[in-house]
């Protein structure tokens, strides 16, 4: 399966803990997008990264959230000091190109529950 991989699929954290979500893009894709889906809503853009660079983080909350896409290894979305409002499904998508007429390929998502 050469698709986008995300792990863990489910993550439970208590308030104040840290959550780390991983995304391995389709092999050969160097563009990664993170989206968040709150209950009963559509997906909302959070951040766009290329290898080793954050290109657009306009959708990221200003505090507690960070993302990286190192030269080697998966992209990581990190949420520090989680709160109940962070409970959502987090989806990663990859694309062979950045801004272009190309679809993004989505992973299965990580469902974060904050107790």
Chain residues that interact with another protein, rule: CB under 8 A = 4, 6, 31, 33, 35, 40-45, 48, 55-56, 58-59, 91, 93, 95, 97-109, 111
Residue (17 or 59) nearer to another protein, CB: 59
**By CB neighbour count within 10 A (0-12 exposed, 13-18 middle, 19+ buried), where does 94 fall?**
buried
CA distance 52 to 84: 30
Residue (59 or 74) nearer to another protein, CB: 59
Residue (86 or 95) nearer to another protein, CB: 95
């Amino acid at each position: 399966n050469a698709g986008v991989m995300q792990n863990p699929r489910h993550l439970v954290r208590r308030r104040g803990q840290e959550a780390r979500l991983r995304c391995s893009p389709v092999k050969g894709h160097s563009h990664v997008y993170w989206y968040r889906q709150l209950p009963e809503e559509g997906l909302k853009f959070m951040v766009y990264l290329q290898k080793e660079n954050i290109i657009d983080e306009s959708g990221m909350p200003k505090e507690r959230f960070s993302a990286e896409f190192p030269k080697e290894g998966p992209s990581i979305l990190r949420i520090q000091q989680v709160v109940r409002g962070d409970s959502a499904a987090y989806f990663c998508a990859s694309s062979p190109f950045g801004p272009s007429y190309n679809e993004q390929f989505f992973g299965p998502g990580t469902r974060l529950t904050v107790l």
